[in-house]
């Protein structure tokens, strides 16, 4: 297979110039890579991402930002750089232009260096597909591709759900995940010992990705399929149900989810920003649920519920 060559045109300027720089660079490419670490420390509260982000990123200069565009190596690069220089000079901005030659494979894989294994509960560890990692102290390994969409364990809501899952899943559990995305929560449940798992999403692409992830994790007790929220979900009672979506969808789901629960079923809901908690509390009370547990992290909330007795 041909390994095409590309040129990365990387332009660096003061962080306060980022909007202008992005506007100029967007005139030569629709696909830009932006490196802006000015608010990184605010986003890494209590070291949450310390195990995920490479040290070189943590130590990056927060006063500058870079925007990169990628163009085929056989194109006249000087035309692009001339255009950029003219526009930035007209804006009276100080800047630096770098031209970096790389292969298509280099480009596709370059981001991988920034992702490392990350613990998302007491025992669960999400490990990038390409990384070798030896489990220790009872750890449970979940293999994921952080380059994909649909949820890979790095977001607070997934970690919160996984933390609660560890409390409730056992060897007899029948588990349901509504809005499964990558399938990570069902995979976590399976790896924690659940007897059978069912994962649903409204997006067929997400379901396809979830099936691939299930296969890559060598688990055989997970069924992934398409559903419109609860429409299309396999009928019956489940022991553990997760819904890591958003507050509005959770509120819409709560009146109907009870038919999939028995008196000991644990329902874990997440994807709720703190500002919407009160709305969710009201829906919980209005639909005969009681709160068993609740955890917060960086402005997000996960709640475990049971039917009121």
Mean pLDDT over 241-270 rounds to 94
> Which CATH architecture describes the domain 158-307?
3-Layer(aba) Sandwich (3.40)
Mean pLDDT of the chain: 84
Strand 222-226 and strand 5-14: pairing?
unpaired
Q: How does pLDDT run across 274-288, given as a tens digit for each residue? A: 889 999 999 999 999
- Residue 36 binned pLDDT confidence (cut-offs 50, 70, 90): confident
* Degrees, nearest 5: CA angle 301-305-309: 155
Rg (the chain; Cα; Å)? 23
Q: What is the pLDDT of residues 133-152, one digit of tens each?
A: 888 888 899 988 654 444 55
Give the residue extent of every domain in the chain: 5-113, 158-307
Using the predicted structure, report yes or no on whether residue 52 has a pLDDT greater than 60.
no
pLDDT of residue 50: 42
Q: Which residues contact 258 (CB under 8 A, 6 or more apart)?
A: 287, 288, 289, 307
5-113 CATH choice from 3.20.20.60, 3.30.420.40, 3.30.70.120, 3.30.420.10: 3.30.70.120
HSE-CB at 191 with a 13 A cutoff on CA atoms is 27
> DSSP strand E in 184-230: where?
196-201, 222-226
What is the H or E stretch that residue 60 is in? none
Alpha carbons within 13 A on the beta-carbon side of 251: 12
CB 247 within 8 A of CB 270: no
99-103, 211-215, 222-226 — which one is most confidently predicted on average? 222-226
DSSP letter string over 100-124?
A: EEEEHHHHHHGGGGG---EE-SSSE
End-to-end CA separation in angstroms for the chain: 63
Check: CB of residue 152 under 8 Å from CB of residue 144: yes
Q: Which among 107, 155, 149 has a CA at the least distance from the CA of 4?
A: 107
Average the pLDDT over 289-293 and give the result: 96
C-beta separation of 91 from 20 below 8 A: yes
Enumerate residues 6+ apart whose C-beta is below 8 A from 151: 158, 181, 182, 184, 244
Enter the tokens of residue 37. Answer: 């670490």
Residues 54 and 40: their CA atoms lie apart, in Å, by 12
């Amino acid at each position: 297979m041909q390994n095409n060559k590309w040129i990365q045109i990387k332009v660096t300027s003061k962080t306060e110039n980022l909007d202008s720089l992005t506007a100029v660079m967007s005139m030569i490419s629709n696909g830009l890579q932006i490196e802006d670490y000015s608010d990184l420390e605010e986003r890494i509260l209590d070291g949450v991402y310390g195990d995920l982000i490479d040290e070189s990123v943590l130590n990056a200069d927060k006063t500058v930002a870079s925007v990169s565009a990628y163009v085929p190596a056989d194109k006249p690069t000087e035309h692009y750089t001339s255009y950029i220089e003219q526009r930035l000079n007209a804006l009276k901005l100080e800047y630096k232009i770098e031209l970096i030659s790389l292969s298509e494979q280099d480009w596709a894989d370059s981001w991988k260096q920034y992702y490392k294994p990350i613990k998302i509960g007491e025992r669960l560890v999400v490990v990038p597909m390409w990384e070798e990692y030896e489990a220790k102290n009872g750890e449970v390994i979940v293999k994921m591709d952080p380059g994909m969409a649909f949820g890979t364990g790095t977001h607070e809501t997934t970690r919160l759900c996984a933390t609660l899952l560890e409390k409730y899943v056992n060897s007899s559990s029948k588990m349901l995940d509504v809005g499964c995305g990558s399938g990570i929560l069902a995979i976590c449940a399976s790896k924690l010992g659940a007897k059978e798992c069912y994962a649903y999403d409204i997006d067929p692409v997400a379901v396809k990705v979830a099936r691939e992830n299930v296969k890559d994790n060598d688990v055989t007790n997970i069924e992934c399929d398409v559903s419109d929220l609860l429409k299309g979900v396999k009928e019956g009672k489940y022991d553990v149900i997760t819904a890591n979506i958003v507050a509005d969808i959770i509120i819409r789901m709560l009146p109907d989810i009870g038919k999939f629960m028995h008196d000991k079923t644990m329902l874990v809901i997440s994807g709720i920003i703190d500002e919407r908690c009160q709305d969710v509390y009201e829906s919980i009370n209005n639909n005969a649920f009681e709160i068993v547990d609740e955890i917060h992290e960086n402005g997000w909330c996960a709640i475990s519920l049971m039917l009121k007795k």
